[in-house]
Structure 1
Amino acid sequence: MFKRRFFRNLLLISTVSLAACSSVKEYNLAITEKKHDVQALKQDIELTHQILKDGHPGLYWYISKKQLDFKFDSLKNAINEPLTTKQFYQKLSPVVAAIKCGHTALRFPSVIIKDKDARAIAKNKVYPLDQFTYAVTDDKLIVINNKSKNKQIKTGTEILEIDGLAPKNIFDIVSAGFSYDGYNSLSKNKRIERNLASLYKIYFLERDSVAIKFKTDSTVINTFISFYDKKKDAEAKKKLDTAKTVATTPVKKIKETLKHRGAKVNGEYQLDFKFLDNEKDIAYLKIKSFSVPTANFPLFYKQAFDSIALSKSKNLVIDIRNNPGGTLNASLALFAYLTDKDFVYLAKPINKGGFNTDKYQTGFKKIRYYLTGFNDKSNIYEDEEGNFFSFMKGYTPQKPHKNNYKGKVYVLINEFSFSASSLLSANLKGIGRAIFVGTETGGGFNQCAAGKLPVVTLKNSKLALRFGLNRMAPIYQQDLYGRGVFPDVEVQSTLKDRINNYDRELQWILTDIKGKG
C-alpha cells in the first residue's frame, strides 16, 4: 500500500513539474494571435457538446436534442479555415447560448501577466470604455456617469459611434452569445450596460485610445478617449487635498451603525438597510447580490430585522433589482424571515450523477482523474426512480426564523434579478407573501441549472465552459414555461428618470403605502 501511494505521489509531482514548464508566453499567444487549425477547433466543438451532454441537467428544457445536435454539427461543418480564439468564440458562443440556460456560457480567457510591475500597471489602467456608465434604450447608448477627463460629456449625452461603429451594430454583435433562462431575453440591454467595456475587448480590438462621436443637445463632438492611470490620479488628488489648509473644527467620525454588510463594490454597498420615513414605518432592505464575500448575511439579516421589530414597522421594501444571484443559503435565510410557517424552499436538486472536470482536461489533471476514481460522487444520491440528486439545504423542511416579519412586504424586481434572487421571488410568489413591483425577472420562475458550477477549459482554444450541475427549482411552478417571475405592478423608470436619479418603481410603492395610489 505504501509503495503504491509513494509511486502515485511521485507521478503526480513529476506531472506537476512538467506542467509548470509550459510557457506562459505560448499560452498568451494561443489566446491572442495564434490561429488554431480546423481539426483542433472541431475537437473543441465536440468536447463542448460532450461536456454538456455528460453534466447539464436541463440540456433539452428549451431546445430539442435534434435541434441542438444540428447546431453543433452545422458549426463543425462550417469550420473550414484556421481561427483565432476570439474568432472561434464568436462562432461557438451562440451555439452554447441556444440551450437557453442563463448559467451556461463560454468565458473568454485572460492573458497571464507574470511580471509584478506589469500586473500593477494593467490593474491601474482605466480603459476608455470603462470611464463611463451607460443606459441602453431603443438601440441608443446614453452616458449616465462620466469618469473621463473630457468634461464636455454630460449625463444624458448620446454616443453616436465608437471607432466608426453605430451602437446598434455593436449591440447586435456582442449580444449574439448571451445566454438567457428560457424565452426571456429582456436582460439584454442590462447586460450590455454592465459589461460593454469587457464585451468590446472580446469582439473588437482593445486599444488605449478610442474614437467616440458624441451628441449633446444639437452639438456633435468627435473626440478620442484615452486610458488613464487611476493610481497616479489618486496620488495627485491626495497631494492636492493635503496641500489645502482648512480652518475648521475637526469633524468627529461617526461610527458605522450598520455592520456585517461587507465592503463597497464600485463605491456602493451591496447590502443596505434603512428606514424611508422618520416614523420608521417603512423599512428598506437592499440586496444587490447574494454573494458578498466580505459580508456576514446571517448577522446582517439579524441586525436589520431586529431593528424592524424594535420599530414595529408596518411595511418592508425588499429591493433585489440588478441582483444576479449568489449562494442558496443567503437567499433561503432571508426567506425564513418572511414566513411564519414551516417551508420547503427547494425541489429535489436533480443532476446527472458524478461529474469530474478533470476527465476533459490534459496533462496532470487528466492523470489525476484516473488516479482519484473517475467521478466526483461526493454528496450524490439516487432516489427510488433512479434519479441522481445532491442534498442541499432547503430541500428538506425548514423552520421560519423566530423573529420573522409579519407586516406588509413589497419586492422590487427587474430583468437583471437572476438565479438566487429569482428563486427567492418564486417562493415568495408561491405563498402569496409579497407585492412585486418592477419588471419580469431575468431568472426563470420554474427552474434553472445551477448549484455546483464547474468550469472546464477547452483543450485548444482555451475558452472556458461554465454551467450548473443541478436543477434548482422552487416547489411552486407557474404555467407559463420558460419565463421569469412577473410583477404584480409593472413599473419601469424611464431614461429621463435615470438621468434625474428618480426611482419611479420605489416611488410607486411609497405612494401606495401612503394610500394615494
Structure 2
Amino acid sequence: MNYFISVICLLLLSTYSKAQYLDEMSVKLHQPADLKKDVYLVQNTLEKENPNLYLYISKKDLDHKFDSLRMTIKQPLTSISLYVKLLSVISYIGDGHLTINIDYSKFTASDIAFLKKPTLQHPIYQFNYRVIAHRLFISENLSVDSTIAKGTEILSINDVPAAKLIDSLSHYITSDGYNTTYKEFLMNGGLFAERYRFLYPKREPLNFKLSSNKGTQQITLNAFQKPGYDSSSVALPPHTAYKLLTADSSIAYLKLQTFFNGANYEGYHGIFADIQKRKLKTLIIDLRGNTGGEIGWASSIYSFLIDTPTYFYKLPAEISRQKLLYDNPKIRDWVKKASKLNYPIVTPDTSIFKGKIYVLINGGSFSASSLLAANMRNLKNVTFVGEETGGSKNVWTAGIIKNMTLPTSKLSLAYGNMPAYFGDITNIDGRGLMPDVSISYTIEDYLANKDLEMDWVLKDIAR
C-alpha cells in the first residue's frame, strides 16, 4: 500500500472541485438510511467471512460499536464522513489487513487533473511529525517560519495535549491485536497529519505549543496554498539490496524492502549462492519497514535458512487440537476444507546459510514480513534486534485480500478471509514478535540519521 499517495489524495478530498469521483466522495450527501445499509453490509460481511473477527473483541462489544455508529448517522453525510466513522470501529477488531479505503481505481482524468492543481491545504500539513514514546516532535518544518527547528517537541495542538492526540488518532488506524508499533510506524509515515485532519477537518488556524532548547513558545499556523499531487514524483521502493559490509567481505547485509516483487523478479537464489561461494559466516537480514507482500517470497527466504522441509503455517490437524481456536465454527469449517488441500511446505534450497544471523525488525515489519520473522524465531542461530514487529507473531487473517465496494458511499472494504497460524497458538496475545535486543531512538538519533540497530550488531560481531 502506498501511504504517500493516499495522504496526498485524501488531504484534497474536502475541497470542492469539478472532479467527478472526488465530488461524489467529498461533496455529495447521502441519506442516513442508505448509509446505514452500508454499515450493515460491512458488519454482515465480516461476520460471515472473517474467521478471527472476535479474537480481540467480543461479539457483544463489536455489535455495540456498530450499533452506536449507526445511531450517530442522523443527517445526510458525505462518503468521507462515513469513512472516518467506519475507521473508528474497524480499528477495534485488531486485524491489520482489514481496512476501509478510497477506491483510487475510480479516479477519472478530471480527478487527477484537479489533484495536480494548487490547493488551499489544512494547516496540519506544514510539519512532518515523529511519534516517539507517546511524545510528538517536528521531523521536518515545511512552514514559512524557518526559525522552528527540526526536533522541536509539540506539547499540544489547540490545547489538546500531544499524548491525548496520539491516543485519539490511533483509534483510526488498524493493526494486529493490541500492537501499537505498526500504528506508530504509519503515523510517522504521514498518517498522523492525515488522521488529524479527519478528526478536525476545518482549515482554521491551529495553535501549537512547542518546546525546544529556546524554551516554550506558542505559534499559530494558517491554511496555506500548495501545489497538488504529481504522480511523476513518486518512486517505488526497491525490492532488495545486497552488499558486503566490511573490508574483509566477511559480513553480508540483505535488505528486504518489500515482498511485492512482481512476476519478473528473479528471486534470491543468486544472493545466497554468492554468500555460500564466499563462505560468509555472518548475515544481517533487514526487515525494517517491510510491510509485507506475496507470501511465496517470504517463504523463499526461509528456504535458504533451514535444512529440513518445514511448514510455514500450523497444520490444520494442529489447529484442530487447540480449543481456543477450534470452538469457533468458522475455524472448524476452514480446517475441514484446508485439510483436503496440499498444505504448503518450505523445502530447503541448495544454497543454505548456516552461519550467524541478525534480523533487524521494527513496527513496519508487517504481514508476510512478520510471518517470516515469526518462523525464524524457531531457528537457533538468529538474534532479533530492534522493536516489536507491527504484525502479529502468532496469527493474522489474510490470504487473498478481497475487496468489496459499498453501494451508497462507494468506499472499498478490504479484508482477508484465510486465518494463518504460526508460533504459539495456545496463547494468542495479540502482540508482535519481540526483539532479543530492544533498541529505542531519541529524536536526536533520528535527526542525525543514526542506525542504532546496525551499530549494535556490528559491535556485537566485533566482540
User: TM-score band, normalised by the shorter chain?
Assistant: 0.7 to 0.9
Q: If the length of structure 1 is used for normalisation, what is the TM-score?
A: 0.71
- Aligned residues, how many? 428
2:87 to 70, 93, 99: 93
Deviation for aligned residue 1:264: 5.1
Cα-Cα RMSD: 3.8
Aligned: 1:58 with 2:52: yes
Change (3 A) 1:125 1:333: farther
Helix, strand or coil: the match of 1:430? coil
Helix, strand or coil: the match of 2:195? helix
1:15-70 per-residue CA deviation (whole Å, 9 max, x = no partner) reads: xxxxxxxxx96754442133322211221111111111221121122223333223
2:63 counterpart letter in structure 1? D
1:48 counterpart letter in structure 2? V
Change (3 A) 1:344 1:124: farther
1:384-432 per-residue CA deviation (whole Å, 9 max, x = no partner) reads: 9972349999x33332110111110011112221110111011111233
- In structure 1, how many angstroms separate the alpha carbons of the residues matched to 2:339 and 2:119? 42
- In structure 1, how many angstroms separate the alpha carbons of the residues matched to 2:59 and 2:228? 50
Q: What corresponds to 1:285 in structure 2? A: 254
Aligned: 1:199 with 2:195: yes
- In structure 2, how many angstroms separate the alpha carbons of the residues matched to 1:286 and 1:62? 33
Say which is worse superposed, 154-163 or 274-283, in terms of deviation: 154-163
Aligned: 1:34 with 2:34: no
Q: What corresponds to 2:325 in structure 1? A: none
Aligned: 1:185 with 2:133: no
Aligned: 1:503 with 2:451: yes
- In structure 1, how many angstroms separate the alpha carbons of the residues matched to 2:38 and 2:350? 52
- Alpha carbons 2:117, 2:228 under 8 Å: kept: no
- Alpha carbons 1:209, 1:225 under 8 Å: kept: yes
Change (3 A) 1:172 1:184: closer
- Alpha carbons 1:492, 1:505 under 8 Å: kept: no
Q: Which runs of 5+ in 1 are unaligned?
A: 1-23, 236-262, 351-381
Change (3 A) 1:147 1:391: farther
1:55 counterpart letter in structure 2? E
Deviation for aligned residue 1:326: 0.9
1:79 to 73, 89, 100: 73
2:183 counterpart letter in structure 1? K
Helix, strand or coil: the match of 1:448? strand
- In structure 2, how many angstroms separate the alpha carbons of the residues matched to 1:500 and 1:103? 33
1:436-486 per-residue CA deviation (whole Å, 9 max, x = no partner) reads: 111221211111010111121212222221110111233764735322211
Change (3 A) 1:122 1:296: farther
1:316 to 283, 297, 302: 283
Q: What corresponds to 1:70 in structure 2? A: 64
- In structure 1, how many angstroms separate the alpha carbons of the residues matched to 2:162 and 2:298? 36
Q: What corresponds to 1:142 in structure 2? A: 137
- Alpha carbons 1:125, 1:230 under 8 Å: kept: no
Q: If the length of structure 2 is used for normalisation, what is the TM-score?
A: 0.79
Change (3 A) 1:60 1:406: same
- In structure 1, how many angstroms separate the alpha carbons of the residues matched to 2:120 and 2:266? 33
1:205 counterpart letter in structure 2? P
Change (3 A) 1:430 1:40: same
- In structure 2, how many angstroms separate the alpha carbons of the residues matched to 1:505 and 1:513? 12
- Alpha carbons 1:426, 1:476 under 8 Å: kept: no
Deviation for aligned residue 1:120: 6.8
Identical residues among aligned pairs (%): 32
Aligned: 1:46 with 2:13: no
Within a 5 Å distance, the mapping from 1:201-280 to structure 2 comes to 201-205=197-201, 216-218=212-214, 220=217, 222=220, 226-229=224-227, 265=236, 269-280=238-249
Q: What corresponds to 1:16 in structure 2? A: none
1:79 counterpart letter in structure 2? I
Change (3 A) 1:64 1:158: closer
1:282 counterpart letter in structure 2? I
- Alpha carbons 2:127, 2:139 under 8 Å: kept: yes
2:460 counterpart letter in structure 1? D
Say which is worse superposed, 170-179 or 92-101, in terms of deviation: 170-179
- In structure 1, how many angstroms separate the alpha carbons of the residues matched to 2:254 and 2:210? 38
Deviation for aligned residue 1:272: 1.4
- In structure 1, how many angstroms separate the alpha carbons of the residues matched to 2:235 and 2:356? 29
Change (3 A) 1:170 1:67: closer
1:59 counterpart letter in structure 2? L
- In structure 2, how many angstroms separate the alpha carbons of the residues matched to 1:442 and 1:401? 28
- In structure 2, how many angstroms separate the alpha carbons of the residues matched to 1:128 and 1:297? 45
Q: What corresponds to 2:382 in structure 1? A: 434
Helix, strand or coil: the match of 2:109? coil
Change (3 A) 1:472 1:386: closer
- In structure 2, how many angstroms separate the alpha carbons of the residues matched to 1:124 and 1:501? 32
Helix, strand or coil: the match of 1:436? strand
Choose 1 or 2 for highest CA Rg: 1
Q: Which runs of 5+ in 2 are unaligned?
A: 1-17, 318-330
1:202-235 per-residue CA deviation (whole Å, 9 max, x = no partner) reads: 4443869988776553264555574544899x99
Change (3 A) 1:391 1:146: farther
1:332-391 per-residue CA deviation (whole Å, 9 max, x = no partner) reads: 1111111122211123589xxxxxxxxxxxxxxxxxxxxxxxxxxxxxxx9999723499
